[in-house]
Amino acid sequence: MAESHAKVQKVGGGRLCCICNERRAALKRPKTLEQICRECFFAVFEEEIHQVIVENQLFNPGERIAIGASGGKDSTVLAYVLSELNRRHDYRLDLFLLSVDEGITGYRDDSLETVKRNEIQYGLPLKIVSYKDLYGWTMDEIVKIIGLKNNCTFCGVFRRQALDRGASLLKVDKLVTGHNADDIAETVLLNILRGDIARLSRCTAITTGEDGPIPRCKPFKYTYEKEIVMYAYFKRLDYFSTECIYSPNAYRGFAREFIKDLERIRPRAILDIIKSGENFRIATSTKMPEQGTCERCGYISSQKWCKACVLLEGLNRGLPKLGIGRTRVLDKDQKKDLKQSIGTKSIASKQCGSLDF
């Protein structure tokens, strides 16, 4: 009996895959700690994502889907896997790659070259929208004025709106992003630390913006970042691995390191944090922001002006810190400037423009 058990567990000096019991194990899954072969890893990785798509009814046959493509590991694996699953399971989706050029020399220009190669490799049409065309500014120009402390605020706000604008130009039904389980767990912690109840109540949703112009889906909601890296490595996918040169001190980075420390101690910690976020209940007495539209550009906003317009107005008026933080930190002159700007219907500087939804 002992000899038979040993034969099942090991072959040629190595441990057998715990799934197929035939091939030699090539890796240990970070999520489950199972030792499995490459072929079984590919199969379970793809099948888990397929089940997430089916169980959450993310897509309907015939829909046009834009894949947010940065050239990084997450979006590259998402584009590859979604293309494969679309063919294998006959989702009948029209897939497109959508990229945002923030205007970061030595980073985004290089990563976009990767996306252009992915366009050919996966046979998916590519659309690129740029900050310069949409807002009149590049991130290089913004960083020169604002510095490295608050630049991620500008980039995050502008990028979100730029993706929606690009999706609108492509006339897609939904936008999918490569946000993985680690990203979502980080967001749960960040919203708790910031006391952001509004975002905390929706940050774990696999589909958001269903009441808006273009819903967003996260097929990688339960997929670990380490497994995405392993999949890309073993599949030899073409992706860009350099981190953004302007984000070494980003607040999210500290939450990311904390999550990684937790994962080393207890791999399920990531899924448990997501589960906790899903089960949070906001008190009925909590006042939530009411969704409306920006008076200036027509984008979704709970204020008269959306965050992008406020930030852009600050840049154009030489007051780059105008939209940073809460309005109570603005001095009297800045408050007066913002109030006058909101009341001005014709502004000579480049506006966000109107979203054609």
Q: Are 15 and 51 in a shared domain? A: no
Say what the pLDDT of residue 353 is. 40
Place of tokens 């946000």: 179
Say what the pLDDT of residue 247 is. 76
Q: Are 147 and 223 in a shared domain? A: yes
Q: Are 83 and 165 in a shared domain? A: yes
Which class for 150: exposed (0-12), middle (13-18), buried (19 or more C-beta within 10 A)? Answer: middle
Q: Are 70 and 174 in a shared domain? A: yes
183 is in an annotated binding site: yes
CATH of the domain at 146: 3.40.50.620
- 181 within 8 A of 222, measured Cβ to Cβ: yes
Q: Are 104 and 243 in a shared domain? A: yes
3-state helix, strand, coil in the chain (%, to 5): 45, 10, 40
Assess if residue 275 is contained within a domain.
Answer: yes
Assess if residue 13 is contained within a domain.
Answer: yes
Say what the pLDDT of residue 325 is. 59
Q: Are 215 and 148 in a shared domain? A: yes
Say what the pLDDT of residue 13 is. 54
Assess if residue 352 is contained within a domain.
Answer: no
Distance, CA of 346 to CA of 344 (rounded, Å): 6
Q: Whole-model pTM? A: 0.84
* DSSP 8-state assignment for residue 327: G
Q: Which of 248, 279, 310 marks a domain boundary?
A: 279
Two structure tokens written together for 38: 């490459």
Amino acid at 356: D
Assess if residue 356 is contained within a domain.
Answer: no
Q: How many domains does the chain have?
A: 3
Q: Are 116 and 200 in a shared domain? A: yes
- 158 within 8 A of 119, measured Cβ to Cβ: no
Q: Are 7 and 54 in a shared domain? A: no
Say what the pLDDT of residue 81 is. 98
Q: Which residues are within 8 A (CB) of 30 and not within 5 positions of it... i.e. 6 or more apart?
A: 224, 226, 227, 230, 263, 267
Assess if residue 22 is contained within a domain.
Answer: yes
Q: Are 4 and 45 in a shared domain? A: no
Two structure tokens written together for 82: 């979604």
99 is in an annotated binding site: no
Three-state DSSP class for residue 173:
coil
Two structure tokens written together for 182: 């680690």
Range of the domain at 322: 292-342
Q: Are 66 and 129 in a shared domain? A: yes
Assess if residue 260 is contained within a domain.
Answer: yes
68 is in an annotated binding site: yes
331 is in an annotated binding site: no
What are the pLDDT digits (tens) for 100-128? 999 999 899 899 999 999 999 999 999 99
- 23 within 8 A of 217, measured Cβ to Cβ: no
- 16 within 8 A of 24, measured Cβ to Cβ: yes
Which class for 198: exposed (0-12), middle (13-18), buried (19 or more C-beta within 10 A)? Answer: middle
Helix segments in 304-357, DSSP class H:
307-316, 332-342
Which stretches of the chain score pLDDT less than 70? 1-13, 248-249, 325-357
Say what the pLDDT of residue 333 is. 52
Distance, CA of 355 to CA of 213 (rounded, Å): 10
Q: Are 105 and 217 in a shared domain? A: yes
Place of tokens 């970061």: 104
Assess if residue 236 is contained within a domain.
Answer: yes
Around Cβ 116, how many Cβ atoms within 10 Å? 16
Q: Which of 228, 245, 279 marks a domain boundary?
A: 279
Assess if residue 251 is contained within a domain.
Answer: yes
74 is in an annotated binding site: yes
Say what the pLDDT of residue 356 is. 35
- 322 within 8 A of 334, measured Cβ to Cβ: yes
Q: Are 137 and 10 in a shared domain? A: no
What does the DSSP assignment read for 131-156? HHHHHS--HHHHHHHH-SSSHHHHHH
Q: Which of 279, 302, 323 marks a domain boundary?
A: 279
What are the pLDDT digits (tens) for 309-348? 989 888 888 887 777 754 433 445 544 554 554 443 333 3
- 184 within 8 A of 203, measured Cβ to Cβ: yes
Q: Which residues of 252-283 are buried (b: 16+ CB within 10 A; e: fewer)?
A: eeebbeebeebbeeebebbbebbeebeeeeee
310 is in an annotated binding site: no
70 is in an annotated binding site: yes
Say what the pLDDT of residue 266 is. 92
